[in-house]
Amino acid sequence: KHHVGILISGRGSNMAALVEASRSSDCPYEVVLVASDKPAAPGLAWAADNGIATFAKSPKGMAKAEYEAAIDAALREARVQTIALAGYMRLLSDAFVARWRGRIVNIHPSLLPKYKGLDTHARAIAAGDTKAGASVHIVTEELDGGAVLGQAEVQIHRDDTPETLAARVLEEEHRLYPKVLAEFVTR
């Protein structure tokens, strides 16, 4: 199977969805490493409890290049072929992106190219949009700017708050990401 490494910063619900999908015998990828820049990320504990190798390292007090070299070494040690970002809230350097060119994917909670960056659901509601969603895309040097591989849409309800909308989108993320990743690694 194709070796996937997942980078997370927090809850890790998309990571868990990817791991759960990978357990099906016809899934073309396996998750060989879950790494986090936040050693206390709840998702890391979930991964360890579920038998996945984990790597935790805070970037505090390190130069970005040094920090990314440590992550890169852990990914290579695990023979990772594709990196899936799943709520990884740190920007990867141009050098790191170049080193893994075309082999990093991300899930972003908006219908890209709309609402790159943060607070996507609040911005969609404030704009009066009637639909929102999530996108899986290739990571390039441009924030949330690489080619879109797949999207899922939800309706925005009149009484939605950013939180209620986020919850509705998140359910779709958990369906979308495993499907798109499986397609991506067998492309």
Do residues 109 and 121 touch, judged by C-beta distance below 8 A?
yes
Do residues 185 and 5 touch, judged by C-beta distance below 8 A?
no
Among 2, 11, 57, 123, binds ligand GAR (CB under 6 A): 11
Please, what is the minimum distance in Å from the beta carbon of residue 7 to ligand GAR?
Answer: 11
Please, what is the minimum distance in Å from the beta carbon of residue 31 to ligand GAR?
Answer: 13
The answer to whether 15 is a known ligand-binding residue is no
Q: Which is nearer to ligand GAR, 107 or 182 (CB)?
A: 107
Only segment of 11-19, 23-31, 47-55, 157-165 that touches ligand GAR (CB under 6 A):
11-19
# residues contacting ligand GAR (CB under 6 A): 15
Q: Does 108 bind ligand GAR (CB under 6 A)?
A: yes
Q: Which is nearer to ligand GAR, 13 or 22 (CB)?
A: 13
Do residues 75 and 5 touch, judged by C-beta distance below 8 A?
yes
Q: Does 86 bind ligand GAR (CB under 6 A)?
A: yes
Query: From residue 22, how far is each of 49, 177, 180 by CA, in Å?
Result: 16, 11, 12
Please, what is the minimum distance in Å from the beta carbon of residue 127 to ligand GAR?
Answer: 17
The helix, strand and coil proportions of the chain, stated in percent and rounded to the nearest 5, come to: 35, 25, 40
Please, what is the minimum distance in Å from the beta carbon of residue 166 to ligand GAR?
Answer: 6
Instruction: Report the alpha-carbon distance of residue 91 to residue 42 in Å, rounded.
Output: 20
174 is catalytic: no
Q: Does 103 bind ligand GAR (CB under 6 A)?
A: no
162-185 and 13-22 helices cross at what angle (nearest 10)?
Answer: 30
**Per CB under 6 A, which of residues 144..163 are in contact with ligand GAR?**
none
Look at strands 82-85 and 104-108 and give their pairing.
Answer: parallel
Instruction: Report the alpha-carbon distance of residue 129 to residue 44 in Å, rounded.
Output: 35
Which residues of the shown chain bind ligand GAR in the complex (CB under 6 A)?
Answer: 8, 10-14, 43, 86-87, 107-109, 134, 170, 173
